[in-house]
Structure 1
């Protein structure tokens, strides 16, 4: 295997591992809302709860996509021919992207379905004209 293929294989394995970690953190609800990793759409970035739900739902497919890339890189590493190694790497990379994007779409839909957070002071009692006191009278 050429030096270029060794480097590309290592990069694919590392990228797949990073994607798998993000998927695991989302699935375990340990991925904090941020601007760099996880499902970051308008729906998921709306509030912390939407981010948590979207990334929990997307976590399993994103984890699986990362593992597909790791497997593609590992198989390429032991492949006896250059053509086989290239095919394995391409299948791993494309598989990772397709599965992770599908997870992102499902996560976005789940986040969009979560109810919007109520402002801290209102708690759903209309906030104006007496708020909850009017309802209790």
Structure 2
């Protein structure tokens, strides 16, 4: 049960972040995109923000709508969190504000949150240990 609740909370947070990237925060999130990402992807910063928002929404839906693929989706969510980490580092190093990240302390805390999100994604989508499964039966 705790993994299920945790997975749903993660899905809601991903959906909210994704919708923020696609709407109210879209302009502000562009500053978190490093210049090298535009050169590497051949996309402009706005396209990268929109793409990341769309991926967040899709991952949030997949977390709750595809229970048989839960473990694979968990790995995809974790990989996504790892993939966007350079943007978080870029924002912290440049000291530029984005929605909800308008101080150095908040930007640094965001860096520390990233590994927690990775672990959360993997834990909430993994199977409980065999002993726990026996107790639930």
What TM-score do you get using the length of structure 1 for normalisation? 0.41
What TM-score do you get using the length of structure 2 for normalisation? 0.41
The structure whose residues are more often helix, as a share, is 2
